Amino acid sequence: MQQLVEFIGNHPVLATLWVVLAIFLLYSYVETLISPLKQISTQEATQLINKEDAVILDIRNQADFKKGHILGARQIGQEAVTKADFTKLENEKNKPIIVVCAMGISAKRTATQLLKAGFAKVSVLKGGMNTWQGEGLPIKK
């Protein structure tokens, strides 16, 4: 314990950075646990698609969508995403919706907007299309 106090006294900047990083890590972990938005693996996504007829919402641009997308995916334009205009999906409010982007990062924002718009079961494909293709899962061109 005495060595810890001595280290903190000799290196206050490093000690402060360590505490800040620990707080950020804890915050991220707790936020993931309590968030209604879930990130799902490709295996979980295929189960949702096959068993619960999940809707795949691809938010990538049209050119990337045409290069290859998950079978049955619907492409939504960036303009609709920016305006949170999900009127095309009104009939699907009670179905699971899987939001897909290139790497699974930008899909979180869209998924959060969908939750706010009243969609019940929204999730994000972890790793996006890169993971889907990397695992050799089927795509349509």
Q: How many CA atoms lie within 13 A of 125 on its CB side?
A: 32
Nearest-CA neighbor of 49 among 104, 121, 120, 101? Answer: 121
Catalytic residue among 45, 57, 59, 101: 101
The Cα–Cα gap between 88 and 74 comes to 10
CB 97 within 8 A of CB 40: no
| Catalytic (active site) residue 101 | yes
DSSP class of 137 = -
What residue type is assigned to position 63 of the chain?
A
Q: How far apart are CA 42 and CA 73, in angstroms?
A: 14
Active site residues: 101
